[in-house]
Structure 1
Amino acid sequence: MIRNLARLSDETFDAVVIGGGIYGLWTAHALTTRGFSVALLERRDFSGATSFNSLKTVHGGIRALQHGSFADTRQFVRERRALATLAPHLLRVMPFVVPTARHPVRNRTAMRVFLRAYDAVAADRNHGVDPALHLPPSYTVGPRAARALNPLVDPDGLTGAAVWHDYQLHSPERLAIALVRTITEAGAAAANYVEARGLLKHADRVSGVQALDLRTGASFDVRGRLVINASGPWAWQLLASCGIPVDRSSGFSLALNLVLDHPPRPHALGGVSKGRFLFLVPWRDRSILGTSHEGFVQGPDPSPVPADISALLRDGVEAFPHAGLNPASIRLVHRGLLPARPAAATAHGALLKRSIVRDHRADGVPGLLTVAGVRYTTARATAQQAADLCTEILGRPVTPPALAPLAGAAFNGLALYRQQGQGQDRFVARYGTLHTELPADGRDPIAPDIDVTSSEILYAIRREMALTLSDVTLRRTDLAAGGHPGADALRAAASVMAAECGWTTGQTADEIQAVERELTLETPAPSARKPSG
């Protein structure tokens, strides 16, 4: 993973992908595996913004089947299975437990019938999947077992619980880096902190991107036969700035998840608030509450207001009255913008039901596509659709590639590999087989009660295009993924980076302040904790 801007400006690529979130990354991967020459540009860092916001779960389409969509359910099942093949070390089997009650739909009998139907639809869920990730059948339990599995909900009226299994994604950020590593090893050129400022045109056809290196302020052109606009909330802004027609009714719903300093349970727990399910999901040594969708906005950069955060927390208290949730337990606020349209009956946006793959030939702008979506799990499927369209536009032979593990995921049995690497479990869970590339020195934690080592920080700088302290602490290592790690740990990480990157004392202080600002932005002031040290 080398940030080679000279190559970006010197070559003409088959496709230039704008956006290093999950949709842009999978699109670049789909094109690269089909033999396209690809350039990937990200204005900030890979897997930031909306892609940083999630419940860390990989769904199998339970909700889609509830809405009667067999086709969507099958897509979720296929994509969940594909991810288990592509990056098994980043996943673990996660049981989901939701309460049943005397309710027309959420009663125990109806849920038992529904889960049997779901298991039939997902009968091939384990086909070709590593045995360590096989998903058990779904089932229901009675009220006593339900109270034992989910003691955080109100037991009044509880008739049992429904239990099914999905995957938890240990680190979406590590999945993003695995994708960047995979495409660059296959010949793609990728760079973070490069902003697309406009589109190049030749003979009335889009022919590339006017780019700006945000690190140096240097401008340059990136030429391509096709440009794929996968810039998430900024996609519409880019189109409008280039005079391309934009649906003015389109906008975004602000999705929120709260990382809580709450002891994790063994299962993901469902609870009902205002007639809908919220989930309290165990994640490392904390829990994540979500997801809520607050408001409808049309700008790409809104931040949640305290009222949004308080509303989600109140709903969490209603759903899980015995969890003891309170503002002081909030360690981090994950937020992101998802494509939506205004809903007449509510101030909240109605999320789009289908991903967008728009060929702008229909708008008189050949050479440009826009890709956007709502679901993390099915982003790869949307990318395949976009790659099919690119193949047709450029007249390439259609040869759908076989699934091949991402960088670091070529295991001959995940459980066996973990046994052979005893004592390396944390590294295997994050880096897979690439953990052997970590520098041999600096394997001790950088601070007390912190797992992250100097070797991981050095590896992020040398091999993973980490340019800032925020890149390292939030998107390469675990250091600040669950909230502020403490001032001592932050200073220790900055010291390692400063020595490697040649930062001055002033630059080091600026980097620490930048992380503090980012963590403050992600954490509401009423519940912000003072870092130790």
Structure 2
Amino acid sequence: MKRDLPGMSEKVHDLVVIGGGITGACVARDAALRGLSVALLEKRDFAGATTSASSKLIHGGLRYLQNFEVGLVRESLRERRVWSNVAPHLVDPLTFLMPETSRKIKDRVVKAVGLKVYDWLAYDRNRLDDAEKSIPAHRKLGREEALALEPGLDSPALTGAMMFHDYQMYSPERLALECVLGAAEAGAMVANYAEVTGFLLEEGRVAGVRVRDAAAPKPQPEHEIAGRLVVNAAGPWADLLMGELRRALTGKGGAARSLIRSKGIHLLVRPVTKGHAVAVTGENGHFFILPWRGYSILGTTDTVYRGDPDAVHVTEKDIVNFLAVVNRGYPGAKLRRSDVLYFYCGLRPIVDSETSVREGGDADRDGGGDAYNTSRAAEIFDHEKEEGTGGIITVIGGKWTTSRSLAEKVVDLALAKLGKDPVPCATETTPTFGGAVGRFSEFKSRAVREHPELPPDIVEHLARNYGSRMGDVTALAEGDESLRARISGQFPDIAAEVVLAVRQEMALTVEDVLFRRTGLGTTGPPGAEAIRRVAEVMGAELGWDAAERAAQADIATAHFASWARTLAIVNPNSWNRRTGALWPKIEAAISRAVGPVEAAFTDGPMAATRLAAKALHEGFEQVIAIGGDGTVNEVINGFFEDGAPINPEAALAVLTSGTGRDFRRTFGIPESVEDQIERMAASEIRPIDVGRVTYVNWEGREESRYFGNIASFGLSGAT
């Protein structure tokens, strides 16, 4: 798979596909297998956004039955089976337990009927090439049996559990990449880091796209890629491209279809269950606890996001509040902030409709409503039919599981619009790029026997990640002992994978390798040495000098640095100067409880205000005020500027160590520092009221100050 934008620009392609997520990858693969000439363009890296930010499930959509979306559920269940057949090395059965706590007959009957319908709709679930991937129908468990399987379910209200089954991906990124590789193998031209900046128009018809080569040195060149038909499969950016097209045609912005962008976060934590997935009904829908690679994934939230899709990220508020939801819904988890090893988020593109969003919450950039009950059905928008603009189709919405069948419909329409004879879709039965393994357990055992030079855990990893193409990796490793070496002692990934990623899989950055080729970075920071080694191997392949290798390593390292940076503002003179003396111990305790913190020390009146304001402007999202009431109120003042919050998402934590500590008593905060830190680790972020007092200062000017619990003047401090 070679990246060649100049060569791509020399041809007129039948199909130009915008978006290298799973939808675009499936469209490109399907079209190429049906004989169309295809160009696939991705603004970042393949599978670099929504596709990789998933719960890693291939599922039938049980909860969609509550919206009576029987057709979507049936399609999802069929596609669940298809993915298991065409990519058996990357898709495995997963057993779920759904705890039952309601004693109402109606609730229990509804759940039982829903699962029965789910089984009926999955009547063909075991028509599989690999019988070991078979899954049984659901069954009901009594309380004792449920607790024997998962003791963490224990609660006074538990009456039993329902057991059902879906599938899980070993690596969504690799599965999507295999679709891209399969498209290229079938003749498609593909390019990552190729951002579409505009459309080529001929007599009011779309005739291609303009593309900026985002991987080239500045000034980055643009290329014109001509196509008889353009497919906009840009996911959360699809409506923005529609708006750009309308602006180019009419001079007016706005898309013919708008998207709801639903933000979903996931947290990777220590193992919480004994190997089963748990589906829990929470306060605003359900959440999952999913076993994955020896860890647990907590997912997911479903809040409407109204900001720039390029700027979406996980906030400290997201993390702390979601942990609180999980701990309330599954008390056996007993999770603390320090248990979060890694976190990620993405935007689900959902077709907008007048009644699709359940309003609630703050109408801010990150939660103007709840998208939980919104349909995941997709829409194929034919611009020529709907608004008279030929040469383009836009795909909106959809879900991971149904991406293949959605692509089939898109290519069916494309063939008709291109005036070509119908060609049957082949992707339902054609294995993905590494999917021709037969029964996976036998393939894995055979691979271990054939490669005695490699430890079994490395062979199993290669079989999982590359399937029938693992020989591409072992061939590199056979001739070079250094390429057989592990990247890091704690991982099975070897250096040959990095070489393959560069030579055959279009990896251009260290992040591409860590997150979307090897998975080294998907379970948390792999360590500085592993990142340095990846940069070293890539640098040898791509001709990077020492400065570029270091820069690439720094960028990858920064990926693991929390956006939710925490600053502790410490008044060392509080608590009769004991705070300063005890700070090293306090810092260590806070770091164990909530993660790493940076510290800044006050050195006079209003210093805490200045430090807090500076921190919020620099992107810190949590500030811990450590001192007495005066310090706390000064920090509160630093949260505001020109009468408004500097960052509405920022959170305040308080560790009171002053002499008066009225704030502590007002809010029921424990007295001991140790108990306060424990509460900080386990608490949920909640709003508090803040007052503002306006007064005339000594110079005769009017000023305002904010206060959290008390405002006073005169001799109150000494009274």
For residues 513-532 of structure 1, what are the structure 2 equivalents within 5 Å?
Answer: 513-520=554-561
Q: 1:506 aligns with which of 535, 541, 547?
A: 547
Q: 2:369 aligns with which of 348, 353, 377?
A: 348
Return the alpha-carbon distance in structure 1 between the equivalents of residues 313 and 105 of structure 2. 36
Greater Cα shift, 339-348 or 228-237: 339-348
Larger Rg: 2
Note if contact 2:81-2:126 (Cα within 8 Å) is conserved in structure 1. yes
Q: 2:424 aligns with which of 375, 379, 400?
A: 400
Unmatched 5+ residue regions in structure 1? none
Note if contact 1:100-1:106 (Cα within 8 Å) is conserved in structure 2. no
Question: Residue 358 of structure 1 aligns to which amino acid in structure 2?
Answer: F
Does residue 259 of structure 2 align to residue 238 of structure 1? Answer: no
Which residue number corresponds to residue 428 of structure 1?
A: 463
Which residue number corresponds to residue 363 of structure 2?
A: none
For residues 206-355 of structure 1, what are the structure 2 equivalents within 5 Å?
Answer: 206-216=206-216, 217-243=220-246, 245-247=254-256, 250-262=259-271, 265-274=274-283, 276-297=285-306, 299-301=308-310, 302-340=312-350, 341=352, 343=357, 345-346=359-360, 347-350=368-371, 351-355=374-378
Which residue number corresponds to residue 41 of structure 1?
A: 41
Return the alpha-carbon distance in structure 1 between the equivalents of residues 58 and 380 of structure 2. 22
Instruction: Provide TM-score, normalisation by structure 1.
Output: 0.94
Note if contact 1:147-1:155 (Cα within 8 Å) is conserved in structure 2. no
Note if contact 2:408-2:425 (Cα within 8 Å) is conserved in structure 1. no
Does residue 380 of structure 2 align to residue 357 of structure 1? Answer: yes
Note if contact 2:3-2:506 (Cα within 8 Å) is conserved in structure 1. yes
Deviation above 4 Å: which 4+ runs of structure 1?
103-110, 521-530
Instruction: Provide TM-score, normalisation by structure 2.
Output: 0.71
Which residue number corresponds to residue 203 of structure 1?
A: 203
Greater Cα shift, 372-381 or 483-492: 372-381
Greater Cα shift, 67-76 or 34-43: 67-76
Q: 1:412 aligns with which of 438, 454, 458?
A: 438
Which residue number corresponds to residue 464 of structure 1?
A: 505
Residues 250, 172 of structure 1: alpha-carbon distance in 2 compared, 3 angstrom cutoff? closer
Question: Residue 238 of structure 2 aligns to which amino acid in structure 1?
Answer: A
Return the alpha-carbon distance in structure 2 between the equivalents of residues 149 and 105 of structure 1. 25
Deviations 1:292-320 (A, max 9, x none): 11233153222233222222111111122
Which residue number corresponds to residue 369 of structure 1?
A: 393
Note if contact 1:262-1:329 (Cα within 8 Å) is conserved in structure 2. no
Tell me the CA shift for residue 110 of structure 1: 4.8
Residues 401, 171 of structure 1: alpha-carbon distance in 2 compared, 3 angstrom cutoff? same
Greater Cα shift, 259-268 or 506-515: 259-268
Tell me the CA shift for residue 12 of structure 1: 0.6
**Counterpart secondary structure, 2:508:** coil
Residues 528, 54 of structure 1: alpha-carbon distance in 2 compared, 3 angstrom cutoff? farther
For residues 104-119 of structure 1, what are the structure 2 equivalents within 5 Å?
Answer: 104=104, 108=108, 110-119=110-119
Note if contact 1:256-1:336 (Cα within 8 Å) is conserved in structure 2. yes
Deviations 1:24-71 (A, max 9, x none): 111112211221110000011000111111111110232223433321
Residues 105, 287 of structure 1: alpha-carbon distance in 2 compared, 3 angstrom cutoff? farther
Tell me the CA shift for residue 374 of structure 1: 3.9
Residues 104, 393 of structure 1: alpha-carbon distance in 2 compared, 3 angstrom cutoff? farther
Greater Cα shift, 27-36 or 335-344: 335-344
Which residue number corresponds to residue 51 of structure 2?
A: 51
Tell me the CA shift for residue 405 of structure 1: 0.5
Question: Residue 137 of structure 1 aligns to which amino acid in structure 2?
Answer: A
Residues 523, 57 of structure 1: alpha-carbon distance in 2 compared, 3 angstrom cutoff? farther
Return the alpha-carbon distance in structure 2 between the equivalents of residues 69 and 197 of structure 1. 37
Tell me the CA shift for residue 352 of structure 1: 4.2
Greater Cα shift, 155-164 or 330-339: 330-339
Q: 2:533 aligns with which of 478, 492, 495?
A: 492
Which residue number corresponds to residue 102 of structure 2?
A: 102
Tell me the CA shift for residue 251 of structure 1: 3.3
Tell me the CA shift for residue 120 of structure 1: 2.1
Aligned residue-pair number:
530
Tell me the CA shift for residue 512 of structure 1: 0.8
Which residue number corresponds to residue 192 of structure 1?
A: 192
Residues 249, 501 of structure 1: alpha-carbon distance in 2 compared, 3 angstrom cutoff? closer
Tell me the CA shift for residue 103 of structure 1: 4.5
Residues 89, 51 of structure 1: alpha-carbon distance in 2 compared, 3 angstrom cutoff? same
Residues 260, 388 of structure 1: alpha-carbon distance in 2 compared, 3 angstrom cutoff? same
**Counterpart secondary structure, 1:89:** coil
**Counterpart secondary structure, 1:156:** coil
Residues 522, 445 of structure 1: alpha-carbon distance in 2 compared, 3 angstrom cutoff? farther
Question: Residue 180 of structure 1 aligns to which amino acid in structure 2?
Answer: V
Tell me the CA shift for residue 367 of structure 1: 0.5
Note if contact 1:23-1:373 (Cα within 8 Å) is conserved in structure 2. no
Deviations 1:49-105 (A, max 9, x none): 111111111102322234333212210111101111211110111101110123447
**Counterpart secondary structure, 2:96:** strand
Note if contact 1:97-1:149 (Cα within 8 Å) is conserved in structure 2. no
Question: Residue 228 of structure 1 aligns to which amino acid in structure 2?
Answer: V
Note if contact 2:129-2:438 (Cα within 8 Å) is conserved in structure 1. no
Question: Residue 495 of structure 1 aligns to which amino acid in structure 2?
Answer: E
Note if contact 1:208-1:226 (Cα within 8 Å) is conserved in structure 2. yes
Residues 4, 105 of structure 1: alpha-carbon distance in 2 compared, 3 angstrom cutoff? farther
Note if contact 2:277-2:289 (Cα within 8 Å) is conserved in structure 1. yes
**Counterpart secondary structure, 1:297:** coil
Note if contact 1:373-1:379 (Cα within 8 Å) is conserved in structure 2. no
Return the alpha-carbon distance in structure 2 between the equivalents of residues 430 and 105 of structure 1. 46
Residues 523, 132 of structure 1: alpha-carbon distance in 2 compared, 3 angstrom cutoff? farther
Return the alpha-carbon distance in structure 2 between the equivalents of residues 521 and 400 of structure 1. 47
Deviations 1:408-453 (A, max 9, x none): 1112332321221123211111100111111123222122212221
Note if contact 1:210-1:222 (Cα within 8 Å) is conserved in structure 2. yes
Deviations 1:97-129 (A, max 9, x none): 110123447855554444333222211111133
- RMSD (CA atoms): 2.1
Quick one: higher RCO (CA 8 Å, sep 6+), 1 or 2? Answer: 1
Return the alpha-carbon distance in structure 1 between the equivalents of residues 16 and 325 of structure 2. 42
Return the alpha-carbon distance in structure 1 between the equivalents of residues 106 and 150 of structure 2. 16
Greater Cα shift, 218-227 or 320-329: 320-329
Deviations 1:444-464 (A, max 9, x none): 212221222111111111111
Return the alpha-carbon distance in structure 1 between the equivalents of residues 286 and 142 of structure 2. 20
Greater Cα shift, 331-340 or 71-80: 331-340
**Counterpart secondary structure, 1:357:** strand
Note if contact 1:211-1:222 (Cα within 8 Å) is conserved in structure 2. yes
Unmatched 5+ residue regions in structure 2? 248-253, 361-367, 449-455, 567-590, 598-719
Return the alpha-carbon distance in structure 2 between the equivalents of residues 45 and 85 of structure 1. 26
